[in-house]
Amino acid sequence: MKIGKQYHLGAVEIHVNSSGWYSHHHEGNPDYNEVVLHVVLYHNGQREIKRQDGRIVPELELAPLLSKEPSTSETEAKNHLKKLSELPGRCGIAALERGTETLKKILGHAAEQRIQEKTEVLLKRWDEQDPEELLFQLLFKSLGYSPYAQVFEELAKQYQFRELRPLFRQSQRTTRTLVLSRWFGACGLFSKKMTIADPTVRHEFQQWKAAWQELPEHPQVSGKISQAHRPQNSPERRLLGMFHHLYRIANDGLLKRWLVVF
């Protein structure tokens, strides 16, 4: 693309607001070092858009450029979206042109390459520690996805699987209190202002908080968990999901159950 008199080759990142760049933690993620333009509907921040490598990214605000004419009715908009949804899209067009078998080969190759990359990470760290603890840490890292990957991996090192495993021999509710009180407390989630509508969930959350306060030690992860995230991607939701997974497989162990999967 051409910005002013200079040509740029790279990616374009799109957000509703310019603050989305920082709320999604792109400034610390090297995966976004290829971004050459930040496109937003509204410019609502004072900070420049800066990549992880320190380069400033120019920003384009669309709101001032939009037509002043009245928008179409809701019915017309829905009909228009329905027509668009029926189109195959760029990837769909490529698939139609190349055929189903070619598409399967492309996806299969991509999946195999992804598995090889993950395997290389495992091999490099295999001799560092117990394999089951390594798997536990990598699962937590993946669970945290890019914004919380390091925080979650540190949490797995803080409360290792072999230390948590005996806790899973009790009832699910008791175990949930014992485990989630540690995870939430170490991540600083009890200090967040949370609105929990369900009275049952709210009561149990208070039990976790009380259990954390009663522990003799209160270790903390070094990273901070931001409050800017999609509700379905909240760290609380992800930790709760991991708990239920561990509760199902803890007796057999991580390695045994995951080796069965693969």
**What are the residue boundaries of the structural domains of the chain, listed by start?**
2-65, 74-128, 130-261
Of 41-45, 88-92, 167-171, the one with minimum mean pLDDT is 88-92
Query: Is the model more confident about 75 or about 228?
Result: 75
Please tell me the predicted confidence (pLDDT) of residue 197: 54
Q: Which two tokens stand for residue 46?
A: 């004072």
The answer for residues whose C-beta is within 8 angstroms of residue 162's C-beta and 6 or more apart is 130, 132, 133
User: 38 near 3, Cβ under 8 Å?
Assistant: no
pTM given for the model: 0.61
Whether 32 has a pLDDT exceeding 70, the answer reads yes
Distance CA 257, CA 239 (A): 19
Q: What is the CA radius of gyration of the chain?
A: 23
